[in-house]
C-alpha cells in the first residue's frame, strides 16, 4: 500500500468510444437487417401474393413520404406521444419514488400497479371510448394511464433498493437536504430514471399507435388502421418502418448520451 504502482499515478482513464468498437457493433446489425430482408423477400415470393415484397414496400414508403398529409399525421402522433411520455414519466417517477420511501403508500399502491400492469392495453381505450366518448383528450388520458404503471414499477424499485449505507453517511456528516436529494439519492436513481423513461417512451409509442387506430381519425395509428381496411399491407409496413426509424433516431440522439452522462463514473 505504501508504494503505489506506477499505473496508479495516472489520472482517471475513461476509454472513449473508439471507431473500432463502433464498427464491431455495426457489422452484426447490418448482417441481422440483411438477413431479415432476405427471409422476408423469400416469404413474399413464395406466398400467394398477400405478403408484399421489398420492392412494393419501398415503393409504398416513397409514396407515403412524398405525400404532404403524412407529415401532418406524423406531427400529430409525435405530439401525442410526447405529451403521454412526459406526463407518464413525471407522474410515474413521483408515485414510484413515494412508494420507495413509504411502506404504507407502497402497500396501498402495489395492488393498483399490479392491476395496471395486467390490464391488456386495448382495454384502456375501449373502456374509455365506451364510458367517456371519442374526444381526443379521453384517448390521451387512457394512454397516460396505460403507461404510468411501467414507470412506477422502475422508480419504486430504484428508490427502495437505494444504498442505505449512503443514507447513514449523509446523516453522520449532516449533508444538507439539497445535497442528499441531488448528489446522494438523485445520482443513485438517475440510471433507473433513464431506464424508466426509455420504457415509458417505448410503451407510449406502441400504445399511441394503438390508441389512434382504435379511437382517432388522424395520426399514424389511424393511417395504419386505414391501410388495414384498404387491405394494403405494404402501406402498413411502410408506416411502421417510418416510426421505427424516428424512434431509433431519438434513442441515439437523446438516450445514448444520457446513459453515458449518468454512468461515466462506473466505467
Q: Which three cell numbers stand for residue 251?
A: 434513442
Residue 265 contacts another protein per CB under 8 A? yes
Output 138 or 190, the one with its CB closest to another protein. Answer: 190
**In the block, residue with C-alpha cell 441481422:** 32
CB 219 within 8 A of CB 77: yes
Q: How far is CA 98 from CA 45, 85, 91, 231, in A?
A: 55, 20, 11, 48
Residue 103 contacts another protein per CB under 8 A? no
Q: Which stretch binds another protein (CB under 8 A): 60-68, 90-98, 105-113, 176-184?
A: 176-184
Query: C-beta of 170: minimal distance to another protein in Å?
Result: 9
Output 169 or 245, the one with its CB closest to another protein. Answer: 169
Cβ-count burial of 179 within 10 angstroms (0-12 exposed, 13-18 middle, 19+ buried)? middle
Q: Count CB-CB contacts under 10 A for residue 113.
A: 20
CA–CA separation, 218 vs 230, rounded Å? 16
Residue 266 contacts another protein per CB under 8 A? yes
Residue 179 contacts another protein per CB under 8 A? yes
Query: If we measure between CA atoms, which residue out of 57, 2, 18, 16 comes closest to residue 267?
Result: 16
Residue among 41, 121, 136, 183 that touches another protein (CB under 8 A): 183
Residue among 1, 20, 131, 231 that touches another protein (CB under 8 A): 1
Residues 133-172 that bind another protein (CB under 8 A): 165-166, 168-169, 171-172
Residue 6 contacts another protein per CB under 8 A? no
Residue 8 contacts another protein per CB under 8 A? yes
CB 114 within 8 A of CB 153: no
Contact residues toward another protein (CB under 8 A) are 1-2, 4, 8-9, 11-12, 165-166, 168-169, 171-176, 179, 183-184, 187, 265-266
Amino acid at each position: 500500500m505504501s508504494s503505489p504502482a506506477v499505473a496508479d499515478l495516472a489520472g482517471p482513464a475513461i476509454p472513449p468510444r473508439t471507431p473500432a468498437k463502433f464498427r464491431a457493433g455495426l457489422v452484426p446489425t447490418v448482417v441481422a437487417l440483411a438477413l431479415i430482408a432476405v427471409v422476408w423477400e423469400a416469404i413474399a415470393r413464395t406466398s400467394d401474393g398477400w405478403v408484399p415484397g421489398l420492392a412494393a414496400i419501398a415503393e409504398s414508403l416513397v409514396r407515403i413520404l412524398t405525400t404532404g398529409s403524412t407529415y401532418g399525421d406524423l406531427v400529430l402522433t409525435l405530439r401525442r406521444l410526447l405529451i403521454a411520455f412526459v406526463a407518464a414519466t413525471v407522474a410515474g417517477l413521483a408515485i414510484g419514488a413515494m412508494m420507495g420511501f413509504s411502506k404504507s403508500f407502497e402497500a396501498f399502491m402495489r395492488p393498483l400497479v399490479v392491476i395496471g400492469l395486467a390490464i391488456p392495453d386495448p382495454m384502456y381505450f375501449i373502456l374509455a371510448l365506451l364510458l367517456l366518448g371519442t374526444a381526443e383528450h379521453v384517448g390521451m388520458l387512457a394512454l397516460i394511464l396505460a403507461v404510468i404503471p411501467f414507470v412506477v414499477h422502475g422508480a419504486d424499485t430504484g428508490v427502495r433498493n437505494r444504498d442505505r449505507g449512503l443514507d447513514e453517511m449523509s446523516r453522520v456528516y449532516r449533508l444538507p437536504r439539497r445535497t442528499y436529494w441531488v448528489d446522494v439519492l438523485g445520482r443513485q436513481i438517475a440510471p433507473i430514471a433513464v431506464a424508466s423513461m426509455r420504457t415509458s417512451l417505448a410503451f407510449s409509442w406502441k400504445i399511441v399507435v394503438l390508441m389512434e387506430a382504435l379511437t382517432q381519425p388522424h395520426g399514424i395509428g389511424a393511417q395504419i388502421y386505414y391501410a388495414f381496411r384498404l387491405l394494403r399491407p405494404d402501406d402498413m409496413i411502410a408506416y411502421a418502418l417510418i416510426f421505427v426509424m424516428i424512434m431509433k433516431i431519438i434513442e441515439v440522439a437523446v438516450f445514448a448520451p444520457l446513459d453515458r452522462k449518468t454512468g461515466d463514473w462506473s466505467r
